[in-house]
Amino acid sequence: MAIDEKLAELGIILPEATASVGSYVPVKLTGNLAFVSGMLPSEGGHVKQTGRVGESVTTQEAYNLARICAINGLAALKNVIGTLDRVKGIAMVQGFVQAAPDYAEVPKVINGASDLLVALFGDAGRHARFAVGVASLPMNAPVEVAFVAEIMP
C-alpha cells in the first residue's frame, strides 16, 4: 500500500511544509539518510497548545501533540524527497518534553510520535529513540520531535 493511501486510512492529512524559523533547514539529506529537524506541534502556523507537561498539559494531550510533531516532520520530509514512498525506514526519533521537575512519564509522551511512525511504516517504522524532559522549548511548546529516516534513491 502506498504511504499516501496509508495516511488516508489513518485519517491523516499532511499540512503544507513550513520554512525554518532559524539558521537551519527543515530536512538535511546526506547519503541515504534524511535528518528531520525538531518539529513543534504547530497547526495553521501556531503552536496548538503551550505549557509544561505535568502542570498545565496532561500526558494524553502531550502524546497527541507529539503525534502532530511527527506529522509536521513527515510533511517536511515529503516536501524535500517528493514522496514518502521513498522512506525505507525510520532509524531514530529524538523527543523533547517541556516537563515539570517531577514529571516521570516523558517516554509515554514521545510514544505519540513513535506509535504514528510504526502505524504508518509498519516494522520499517520501528526505531531507536531517546525521550528527555527539558526546562523549556521554543515558543513554550510542550513537545518537540526530530527524526532520522533512511531513504531509497
pLDDT tens string, the chain, 153 residues long: the values are 799 999 999 999 999 998 888 899 999 999 999 999 999 999 998 999 999 999 999 999 999 999 999 999 999 999 999 999 999 999 999 999 999 999 999 999 999 999 999 999 999 999 999 999 999 999 999 999 999 999 999
Q: What's the predicted TM-score (pTM) here?
A: 0.97
38 lies in some domain? yes
Contact at 8 Å (CB) between 100 and 72?
no
143 lies in some domain? yes
Distance CA 61, CA 120 (A): 21
Please give the C-alpha separations between residue 64 and each of 33, 67, 131, in angstroms, as whole numbers. 26, 5, 15
In what helix (H) or strand (E) does residue 95 lie, and over which residues does it extend? Answer: strand 87-98
147 lies in some domain? yes
Residue 88: give its domain's CATH number: 3.30.1330.40
70 lies in some domain? yes
**Rg over CA atoms, the chain:** 15
**pLDDT in the model for residue 36:** 98
The three grid cell numbers given for residue 145, joined into one nine-digit string: 520531535
**pLDDT in the model for residue 19:** 84
Number of residues in the chain: 153
20 lies in some domain? no
16 lies in some domain? no
85 lies in some domain? yes
- Residue listed under C-alpha cell 526530530: 146
Close Cβ partners of 153 (under 8 Å, ≥ 6 residues apart):
32, 86
**pLDDT in the model for residue 73:** 98
Q: Which domain holds residue 76?
A: 3-11+30-151
Number of domains in the chain: 1
What is the number of other CB atoms lying within 10 angstroms of the CB of residue 78? 20
103 lies in some domain? yes
